[in-house]
């Protein structure tokens, strides 16, 4: 009871003892860390060391155990074996609260913010000094000062659900700054950012490092390691394979360490030879769609996608891509305009109807829209099939057939899991995407709608997804590919449309596209004006 009262009322501002550790000294040492989950050893005797003032990249493929290792340091998981030292003192970190007391902050891969609260309230939540009766105005003032100092623009009164992914990340970083965290962990921070946001983030991290903060930067992107880190530790299948000075290594060596074998970094090249004479598979005519807040997100978009074509849509996230895709897949009401699928009007039809016409959907939000997290892997794989023969008879599921089918898909799509009975939510990001692809593509679709299908995936998984899309295209499937990764579009798409504030700034064949031109269009300049 005394503890309760103290934590609510009088928590004295306990100064982190780390504040005075000079740059270059070791602040965190993890020794022999082992963590087992049912069926996998996520960390196998891992040694890891972080110094004050360095940016230390933690590199590894999907499922290598990066997040697990850092969750242990942040007190979310308890290690089965191993020791942790923070500032030379052996510590037991039993909860995030302990970690916070030690001056550790973590920006999670999927942000940990309370959507219904405001930015200021979310930040107030994690400030120890902020006492019972302190006024939220103080927190706002604090936020104001820090965002000025570090150039993190944010409205403290906005509710978190109104923010873009980039803004949410800024809130998480502000949380660390406001606590004066001495150790900052970022779990794949760039996967939700646009290129300018990314540059801004790197600048802030550099600055924090100069001020003596030790930063762990989890990623599986080699060029980011080279760009931002001082040292790099490579994990493979739960083990540390090397810790190197970034200046003494190169992407090729890192790729080899990470994957355990050589892999071509960019195997796919683009081939386009379409005539556009046949009738299109998908036709969108003058489409208007509202967003969640009730304002127009798509404003009069028209285009066609042909069989055997990948039609790319480029643009910074939040310019109407999501609403456009949800309208096409039947998840969102169309305000005005038509969607025509293989000659038939499907505007405002149900998702079930649209699926049955042969539309596969690879959503951006894998975890919530792509899978049912609590259902098993095998249930997820038959989610769109269970009601048809031979998957079920009149009354009962045909388990024999289902099991055979599921085993085949798991093998074909290389989904790594100890059992198909595990809940799909425990799979790593890359494996979740493989599961979704397996389900969607095994139905012989006519049209594939994919939204940022490689976001957050490692090299191997990215290549896998891309080669599957190419393969489908070659089979004569029409592909609508929305991506924020311009390079990906230039690599895969036959034509690229650029969307800005709900309108197409222009559509051009990839052979005539270049990064500068598209970049200008992404900023809202129409194609005709870019030319002149």
Ligand X SMILES: Nc1ncnc2c1ncn2[C@@H]1O[C@H](COP(=O)(O)OP(=O)(O)OP(=O)(O)O)[C@@H](O)[C@H]1O
Binding site for Mg ion (CB under 5 A): 67
Report the residue from 42, 73, 152, 436 that binds ligand X according to the rule CB under 6 A: 42
Asked if residue 122 binds another protein (CB under 8 A), the reply is: yes
Asked if residue 92 binds another protein (CB under 8 A), the reply is: no
| 3-class state of residue 134 by DSSP | coil
The one-character DSSP state at 192 is G
The one-character DSSP state at 25 is S
Site for ligand X in 53-112 (CB under 6 A): 60, 62-68, 109
Asked if residue 110 binds another protein (CB under 8 A), the reply is: yes
Decide the pairing of beta strands 503-509 and 495-500. antiparallel
Partner whose footprint covers residue 65, from another protein, Mg ion, ligand X, none (CB < 5 to 8 Å by kind): ligand X
Report the residue from 10, 12, 116, 516 that binds another protein according to the rule CB under 8 A: 116
- Closer residue to another protein (CB): 97 or 207: 97
Asked if residue 463 binds ligand X (CB under 6 A), the reply is: no
Q: How far is the CB of 136 from another protein (least distance, A)?
A: 8
Alpha helices in 306-363 (DSSP H): 321-328, 351-356
* Nearest CA-CA partner of 55 in 185, 236, 198, 172: 185
* Nearest CA-CA partner of 146 in 166, 116, 172, 113: 172
Report how far apart, in Å, the C-alpha atoms of 164 and of each of 48, 95, 116, 158, 194 are. 33, 29, 14, 11, 11
- Closer residue to Mg ion (CB): 67 or 510: 67
DSSP states of 138-176 as a string?
HHHHHHHHHHHHHT----TTSBGGGS-HHHHHHHHHHHH
Asked if residue 37 binds ligand X (CB under 6 A), the reply is: yes
* Nearest CA-CA partner of 422 in 437, 405, 410, 408: 410
Q: How far is the CB of 187 from ligand X (least distance, A)?
A: 7
Report how far apart, in Å, the C-alpha atoms of 65 and of each of 254, 337, 435, 489 are. 17, 47, 20, 30
Report the residue from 427, 449, 479, 522 that binds ligand X according to the rule CB under 6 A: 427
| 3-class state of residue 359 by DSSP | strand
Decide the pairing of beta strands 231-236 and 334-341. unpaired
- Return the number of other C-beta atoms located less than 10 Å from residue 399's C-beta: 11
Q: How far is the CB of 401 from ligand X (least distance, A)?
A: 27
Asked if residue 128 binds another protein (CB under 8 A), the reply is: yes
- Closer residue to another protein (CB): 99 or 406: 99
d(CA 222, CA 232) in angstroms, rounded, equals 10
Q: How far is the CB of 78 from another protein (least distance, A)?
A: 8
Binding mask 66-85 for another protein (x = CB under 8 A): -x---x--x-xxx-------
Stretch that binds another protein, among 115-123, 249-257, 267-275, 351-359 (CB under 8 A): 115-123
* Nearest CA-CA partner of 468 in 485, 457, 451, 453: 453
Report the residue from 426, 507, 525, 527 that binds ligand X according to the rule CB under 6 A: 426
- Closer residue to Mg ion (CB): 370 or 445: 370
Report the residue from 145, 157, 278, 292 that binds another protein according to the rule CB under 8 A: 292
- Closer residue to ligand X (CB): 242 or 336: 242
Asked if residue 429 binds ligand X (CB under 6 A), the reply is: yes
Alpha helices in 25-135 (DSSP H): 66-73, 96-101, 119-125
Partner whose footprint covers residue 491, from ligand X, Mg ion, another protein, none (CB < 5 to 8 Å by kind): none
Q: How far is the CB of 42 from ligand X (least distance, A)?
A: 3
* Radius of gyration for the chain, computed over Cα atoms and rounded to the nearest angstrom: 25
- Closer residue to another protein (CB): 122 or 378: 122
Asked if residue 322 binds ligand X (CB under 6 A), the reply is: no
User: Which residues sit at the interface with another protein, rule CB under 8 A?
Assistant: 4, 7-8, 67, 71, 74, 76-78, 95-97, 99-101, 106, 108-117, 121-122, 124-126, 128, 130-134, 136, 161, 175, 292, 294, 367, 373, 425-426, 429
């Amino acid at each position: 009871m005394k503890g309760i009262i103290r934590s609510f009322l009088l928590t004295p501002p306990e100064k982190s003892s780390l504040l005075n550790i000079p740059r270059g000294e070791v602040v965190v040492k993890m020794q022999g860390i082992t963590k087992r989950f049912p069926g996998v050893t996520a960390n196998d005797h891992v040694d890891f060391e972080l110094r004050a003032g360095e940016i230390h990249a933690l590199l590894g493929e999907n499922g290598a155990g990066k997040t697990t290792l850092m969750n242990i340091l942040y007190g979310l998981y308890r290690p089965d074996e191993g020791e942790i030292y923070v500032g030379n003192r052996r510590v037991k970190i039993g909860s995030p609260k302990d970690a916070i007391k030690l001056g550790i902050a973590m920006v999670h891969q999927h942000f940990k913010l309370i959507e219904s609260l405001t930015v200021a309230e979310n930040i107030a939540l994690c400030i120890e000094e902020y006492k019972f009766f302190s006024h939220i105005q103080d927190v706002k003032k604090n936020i104001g000062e820090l965002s000025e100092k570090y150039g993190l623009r944010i409205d403290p009164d906005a509710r978190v659900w109104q923010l873009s992914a980039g803004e949410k990340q800024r809130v998480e970083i502000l949380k660390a700054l406001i606590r004066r965290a001495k150790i900052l962990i970022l779990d794949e921070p760039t996967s939700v950012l646009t290129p300018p946001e990314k540059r801004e983030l790197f600048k802030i991290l550099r600055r924090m490092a100069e001020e003596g903060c030790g930063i762990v930067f989890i990623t599986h992107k080699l060029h980011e390691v080279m760009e931002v880190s001082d040292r790099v530790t490579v994990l493979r299948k739960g083990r540390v394979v090397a810790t190197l000075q970034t200046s003494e290594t190169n992407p090729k060596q890192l790729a080899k360490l990470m994957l355990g074998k050589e892999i071509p970094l960019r195997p796919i090249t683009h081939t386009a030879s379409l005539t556009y004479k046949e009738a299109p598979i998908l036709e969108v005519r003058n489409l208007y769609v509202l967003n969640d807040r009730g304002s127009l997100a798509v404003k009069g978009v028209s285009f066609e996608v042909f069989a055997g074509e990948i039609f790319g849509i480029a643009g910074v996230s939040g310019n109407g891509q999501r609403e456009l895709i949800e309208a096409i897949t039947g998840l969102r009401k169309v305000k005005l305009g038509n969607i025509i699928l293989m000659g038939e009007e499907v505007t405002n039809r149900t998702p079930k109807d649209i699926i049955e016409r042969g539309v596969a959907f690879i959503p951006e939000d894998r975890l919530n829209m792509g899978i049912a997290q609590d259902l098993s892997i095998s249930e997820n794989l038959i989610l769109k099939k269970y009601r048809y023969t031979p998957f079920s008879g009149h009354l009962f599921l045909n388990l024999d057939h289902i099991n055979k089918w599921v085993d085949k898909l798991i093998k074909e799509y290389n989904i790594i899991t100890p059992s198909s009975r595990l809940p799909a939510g425990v799979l790593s990001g890359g494996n979740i995407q493989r599961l979704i692809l397996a389900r969607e593509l095994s139905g012989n679709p006519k049209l594939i709608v994919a939204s940022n299908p490689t976001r957050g995936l490692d090299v191997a998984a990215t290549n896998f997804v891309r080669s599957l899309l190419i393969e489908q295209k070659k089979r004569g499937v029409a592909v609508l590919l929305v991506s924020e990764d311009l390079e990906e579009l230039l690599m895969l798409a036959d034509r690229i449309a650029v969307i800005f504030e709900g309108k197409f700034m222009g559509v051009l064949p990839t052979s005539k596209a270049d990064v500068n031109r598209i970049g200008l269009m992404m900023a809202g300049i129409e194609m005709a004006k870019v030319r002149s």
